[in-house]
């Protein structure tokens, strides 16, 4: 029993290599945990230079006042109910300060946006129904990386969209969905399924 436990502990620690980044402020801790969880789950799909870009341009954690001020600068007037926002790979995401578990989950969610392949991102913003699906996929992936995270309650963000994303993943395959999200591969296969989901959403809304 004790041998078994020792082996498990050993294999767990070797999965996460020591990265050697400095922890100099309290905010570095949620950022570091988010980064590690993201890369344990999705590292093989993310180009190393993109990971470096996000680490060199770290996300910012803001008080409610700072958060609404910086949001206003990009035209986001109402931040009620919003926990984070981001624009692209080269700009930091903005995350509302709060419980550490929630901060980490939000950092993962926003970094997933930063890591989304630009072409996939463009497709997803072509119409409002796809925007919703894209948020669902992002939160679905967030929940995978945030699994078991203390202080994080999965299911609070985009519950219906996450359910659609789960169905989409079951249909096209987890790996294929990840390839589409991060690398814009499998575009035909995933694109076809997405188109169908969008049409179904439209029918539901008009029904």
Q: Rule CB under 5 A: which residues touch Zn ion? A: 135
Of the pair 7, 87, the CB lying nearest Zn ion is at 87
Of the pair 124, 149, the CB lying nearest Zn ion is at 124
Q: What is the token pair recorded at 146?
A: 């945030």
Of the pair 68, 116, the CB lying nearest Zn ion is at 116
Shortest distance (Å) from residue 20 CB to Zn ion: 30
- Any long-range contacts for 127-133 (C-beta under 8 Å, 24+ apart)? 127/198, 129/197, 129/198, 129/201, 129/202, 130/194, 130/198, 132/158, 132/161, 132/201, 133/161, 133/164, 133/165, 133/168, 133/194, 133/197, 133/198, 133/201
Shortest distance (Å) from residue 64 CB to Zn ion: 19
Contact 82, 68 (CB under 8 A): no
Shortest distance (Å) from residue 86 CB to Zn ion: 8
Of the pair 68, 138, the CB lying nearest Zn ion is at 138
Shortest distance (Å) from residue 135 CB to Zn ion: 5
């Amino acid at each position: 029993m004790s041998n078994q436990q020792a082996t498990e502990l050993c294999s767990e620690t070797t999965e996460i290599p020591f990265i050697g980044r400095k922890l100099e402020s309290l905010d570095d801790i949620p950022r570091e945990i988010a980064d590690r969880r993201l890369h344990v789950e999705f590292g093989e799909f993310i180009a190393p230079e993109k990971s470096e870009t996000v680490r060199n341009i770290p996300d910012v954690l803001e008080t409610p006042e700072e958060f609404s001020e910086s949001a206003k600068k990009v035209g986001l007037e109402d931040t009620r109910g919003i926990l984070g926002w981001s624009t692209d790979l080269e700009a930091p995401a903005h995350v509302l300060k709060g419980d550490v578990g929630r901060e980490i989950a939000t950092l993962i969610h926003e970094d997933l946006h930063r890591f989304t392949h630009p072409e996939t991102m463009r497709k997803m913003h072509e119409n409002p129904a796809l925007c919703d699906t894209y948020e669902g996929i992002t939160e679905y992936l967030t929940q995978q990386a945030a699994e078991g995270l203390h202080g994080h309650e999965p299911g609070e963000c985009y519950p219906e969209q996450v359910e659609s994303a789960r169905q989409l993943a079951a249909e096209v395959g987890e790996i294929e969905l990840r390839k589409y999200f991060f690398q814009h591969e499998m575009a035909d296969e995933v694109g076809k399924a997405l188109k169908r989901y969008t049409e179904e959403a439209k029918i539901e809304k008009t029904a």
